[in-house]
Structure 1
Amino acid sequence: MTSYPPGRPAWVDLLSADPDEARRFYGELFGWTFEIGPPQAGGYTMCLLRGEPVAGIGQSTSSPDGFPAPPAAWTTYLAVPDVEAAVQNVEQHGGTVLIGPLDILDESRIAVAADPTSAVFGLWEAKLHVGSRIVREPGAPCWHECLTRDSEAAVAFYVDLFGYETERLSGFDYTALRLGGEVVCGVYGDAPSDEPPTWATFFAVEDADKAAHRVMTLGGSVLREPFESTYGRVAAVLDPEGAAFTVLQLRPETT
């Protein structure tokens, strides 16, 4: 594979004020090893599973004009063939470009944007670095969804950008987004009123209950105790810096 199809989640990375602590936590939780990049890449860390890149860790710093460093958070990057064209499309459909476009050495070209509901996401143009080489296996990303309080606006925005087919699920405010008939991500419209809209990153685990307990023993916390979902047993957690992510024990038929 030389690139992900446009609109498909291709990469995730963590912005951290303490990359050393992040590497300790996620290394022990997921069994990752790490490859720390050169100074010209800001020491950006590739997180490896069985020697293959699955995620990244970047350093969070304050801005030159005195603004504090942003809080620790995971970002989902959606694949695009041309970042410049994609950021124009974002702006034309009511989104806001926050960072970029910019080159990450010869590896990729990226931008970070916010949709019209303020959920932050990334745009990923692959070069030498395709993106996550392993998915839907324990220790690797397995699902991504936009958490918002205006699902109608969010769905319309992403459909305009990527041409997704949509499927509204019954019983709650959730829309599955499809490419070529395959569900690749989703939009959940009942995000908590006291939290900003965001894109949630899910990592596959062998046992959600054990993973949630492990998060706590490593210094993180559990936002929502493990429960059964349509796709498997799931728990929402925070790492020691407060970055939210979700662990998902996939059912055999969904792997």
Structure 2
Amino acid sequence: MPKPDITPGSPCWIDLMTSDTEKAKAFYTALFGWTYETGDQEKYGGYITASKDGRMVAGIMEKQADMGAMPDLWSTYLRTDDIAATTAAAAANGGQVLLEPMEVPEQGSMAMYADASGAAIGAWQFGEMKGYEIAAEAGAPAWHELLSKDYESAVAFYQKVFGWDTSVMSDTPEFRYVTLGAGDEAKAGIMDASRFLPEQVPSMWSVYFAVKDTDASVEQATALGATVMQPAEDTPFGRLATLADPTGAVFKVIQDLGQTN
């Protein structure tokens, strides 16, 4: 497939904050076939870039000791062409700036916010690094979804801060969902999770990875030390399961049931 078309406001990168980079690398290599390149320690803090079939797909970084009880987690970054303006807009529209814009030498600039519903979301302004080079293929990110406990505020935040042109997929009390873009062109979604997320669980972004066979991937992942958070089930969008990797970072795997394996 061609390189993903990453327009401003769209998901452009994901990375894993983990307490054990070696364990994470071994797990995702076995599950997704990833290979790795570790950046210069002084220049890039030893940031690890994961590739699938020679194309960049994700990042991995070691969780710092001063992060305390913060769980290991996957993060999503949205593209911005003006990270300073995006940061100002985040603060002005109910968000919180968790990490001020920071230049990554030659690669681009990053920032991290809590959105208006409290979910962490990253921003990335392209330099030489222009996001992941593969998507919606086995072992690559296939979808990005915000589970929000303050749905209306979250939708307004992404419209105002990242310029999202949203499309309503459903607006019933049981299922409220909007997407960035419409139909087959949609690139991310926001779900009203106020009815089902436990009180102690905050609003959060989820990363879906494409797999050829969800059941086989779940079986393999558990053999590698993962935990099943939600068993495999058929949905209108594919066969879906939720897993936590060996150190607890949660992610989803999805199989396109319209494809033959």
TM-score, structure 1 normalization: 0.93
The structure 2 residue matched to 1:202, chosen from 176, 198, 208, is 208
Deviations 1:132-151 (A, max 9, x none): 10000000001001011121
1:177 matched to 2:167: no
Task: Specify the alignment match of 2:9 in structure 1.
Answer: 7
91-100 vs 244-253, which moves further = 244-253
Amino-acid identity (%) = 35
Deviations 1:198-251 (A, max 9, x none): 100000000001111111101110101000111100001100111100001023
1:213 matched to 2:219: yes
Residues in 1 aligned to 2:134 and 2:50: alpha-carbon distance in whole angstroms: 11
Residues in 1 aligned to 2:122 and 2:189: alpha-carbon distance in whole angstroms: 15
1:192 matched to 2:197: yes
Q: How many residues align?
A: 250
> What's the offset of the Cα at 1:189?
1.0
Paired residue secondary structure (1:173): strand
Deviations 1:36-63 (A, max 9, x none): 1111211111001011110000111023
Deviations 1:112-144 (A, max 9, x none): 111111111100111111111000000000100
Residues in 1 aligned to 2:88 and 2:69: alpha-carbon distance in whole angstroms: 27
Runs of at least 4 residues of structure 1 off by over 4 A?
Answer: none
> What's the offset of the Cα at 1:4?
2.5
110-119 vs 163-172, which moves further = 163-172
1-10 vs 229-238, which moves further = 1-10
Deviations 1:153-184 (A, max 9, x none): 11111111213222141551222221798211
The structure 1 residue matched to 2:235, chosen from 225, 229, 233, is 229
Structure 1 unaligned residues grouped into runs of 5+: none
Identify if the C-alpha distance between structure 1 residues 183 and 150 changes in structure 2 by more than 3 Å, giving closer, same or farther.
same
* CA RMSD across the alignment: 1.9
Residues in 2 aligned to 1:80 and 1:25: alpha-carbon distance in whole angstroms: 31
